Each structure stands twice: as structure tokens, then as C-alpha cells.
Amino acid sequence: MTKRVCISGYYGFDNFGDETILKILTENIKNFKYDTEITVFSSSPEKTAENLKVKCVNSFSVFKVVKAIISCDTLISGGGSLLQDSTSAKSLIYYLLILSLAVIFKKRIIIFAQGIGPIKHKALSFITMRILKKADYITLRDENSLNLLKKNGINAKICADPVWNLKLPVCEKSNKTGVQLRNSRLIDNEFLIKLAQNINTYYKDKEILILSLQNKLDTEICKRFKEELYKINPNINAKVIENTSNDKVIKDICSLDELIAMRYHACLIAIKAGVKVLPINYDIKVETISKQFNLKYINGKDDIGKTFKEFNEFKYIPQKNTEEYDFNELELRMFG
């Protein structure tokens, strides 16, 4: 008998981390022992369907979303940081509505590899915890989320980020340094100038790859950074990498000697590939992975010069045998 699974998340927006998680999740579900029909809620349903060979409905097509939930056996929410209102209260309300529909129609609910919070609005925090109490299985990727749910009497389990399960290509090092930036209040002109000065000081003899991992949020700031680099050193060899596939991004990261990065999953891929990585802390999840692997990290523009010096003196030991997400347990919880 075919099992029907709906997957809700930040999908179809060309975000490198979320799209990589979705690919890993759908590939593993297809390998489960049950014949499974997967429907993904995506803002770009045609593109997602073509890339992953799954059914898709538009995330904001109310009738189609409701119909898919009514027809499914299990709703998977995640991964990523969906249940928070730092990005916007609207996105949190959207994901809560999806979960509420699953509760109303008595579907099995899986919270998949999420980070919960921060939730500043008290009413939304209360509603979130009420809904999470209805979930059948919750996996979380950080201790802060686990402690938050424990305080509210909700059982959950810490898990590895699913991207740790990714099989990486073997790449030769090619005298390249990567810089990965995204739009953030942290990144002002002074930050970009100081970052460019340090990149030029330590890596001017290398090719500089400036990686845009979500064009809507990354490309403009990446191009501004390239301009600052060329103001400091017109002879530096730097280029912005944009509008490329996730597989190409992963290959580019694996080929680097070092990566200076803001995005959590860029840091994760670099760690997994044994690339020396200097995170830029713009979010608690980046600080968490930095501390987890004892990495130096930039904690604001006044910290850049000192941290770069320490980073380049720091002997990096590549990480080996990192724990992976347990998809066998997920299969048991979905169908057991």
C-alpha cells in the first residue's frame, strides 16, 4: 500500500542549505521499504518537481495544500529554522497553519531536524508549544531548542544536521580562498572594507571565489565585496560565483584551501570536507557550530583583524567521522 508524505519547509527559494536538506530527505524516503508518494510544498513547484522527481504543490496555493494534507498519511515539517519569528512573524504563522491542518485532520506529524526559536511574540510562542505537543516525533539540531521544548514538557531528540549525510566529491586543492556572504544587518561598509583588507593581506596571491548561495539575499553583497577588494588591490584575482547548481557549489567549497563564511551550511560543508573555515557569526546557529568544532569565528567588525591573525596561526585538524542523521529511526517513526 502506498504511503503518502507531505513535506513543508523553506523550499523553492534557491536557498543552498534548505534545498540540500530537501534533496537528502527525499532521496532517503525513496529508499524506505514502503512505497511512498512524496509531495513537497514549494514556492517553485515545477522546478522542485523536475529536480527531485517528486510531486509538488505551490506553498501558497491554499486549496492544493489543504487537499494534499487531507490525502497524506504523514506531514514532515523541516528541516531548518522554520519555527521562529526573527525572520518574520508571517513565516512562523504560515508554518504553524500547516501544522495545525495536520493536527485537525489527525495526520502523523514529524518535526524534522529543526532549530526552534527565538519566538519573541508570547502568543505565537504559546501556540507553537501547543502544536508541538501534538507531534509524533521531533528531532532538533541544537541544545537551545531542546531545552526550550523541555521547559514546555515536550519530548524531542537531538540529531545531526541531515547535510552531514551528504556524500562529498573528492576534489584537489587549487590555491583558492572562498568568501561566502549574505545580506545581514551585521554587514555594513566598514565591515566589508575591513574584511577586504584582511583577505588581501593574507590571500592576495590566491584566486578568491566569492560565493552567492541564495541569489536574492547574497549576490548584491557579494558584488559589493568584490568592488571593495579591487579598490584595495586592482590586481587581485576575485570573482563572484552565482546562479550555479548546488552540486557545483559543493564542489567549489571542497576545492578550497580555506573558507570565510556566514551561512551555516557553507561552514558545515567546509568542515566535512576538511577545509579550514572561519565562520562569520550573524546568527546563533553559526556560533553554535563554531563552538561545537572549536573554530575561531568573527564576532563583529571590531573583531576581524584579530580573528584573521589567530585563524592564520591556528593549526586546523580536519574533522572525521562526524555523526550523521539517523534515517532508520525516521522510517520507524513515520511507518512504525
Q: May I ask the CATH architecture of the domain 176-313?
A: 3-Layer(aba) Sandwich (3.40)
Q: Which three cell numbers stand for residue 254?
A: 571542497
Do 3-159 and 176-313 come out as alike in CATH topology? Answer: yes
Per-residue pLDDT of the chain (336 residues; tens, 9 = 90+): 899 999 999 999 999 999 999 999 999 999 999 899 999 999 999 999 999 999 999 999 999 999 999 999 999 999 988 999 988 899 999 999 999 999 999 999 999 999 999 899 999 999 999 999 999 999 998 898 999 999 999 999 999 999 999 999 988 888 999 999 999 988 999 999 999 999 999 999 999 999 999 988 999 999 999 999 999 999 999 999 998 899 999 999 999 999 999 999 999 999 999 999 999 999 888 998 999 898 999 999 999 999 999 999 987 776 666 789 999 999 999 987
Contact (Cβ atoms closer than 8 angstroms) between residue 127 and residue 144: no
Alpha carbons 249 and 214: distance in angstroms, whole number: 11
Amino acid type, 304 = I
**30 phi, psi to nearest 5 deg:** -65, -25
**216 phi, psi to nearest 5 deg:** -60, -35
Alpha carbons 57 and 61: distance in angstroms, whole number: 7
Alpha carbons 42 and 51: distance in angstroms, whole number: 12
Pick the CATH number of 3-159 from 3.40.50.360, 3.30.930.10, 1.10.1670.40, 3.40.50.2000: 3.40.50.2000
pTM: 0.93
Strands (E), 234-329: 237-241, 258-261, 276-279
Grid coordinates 529554522 are at which residue? 81
Extents of the domains making up the chain: 3-159, 176-313
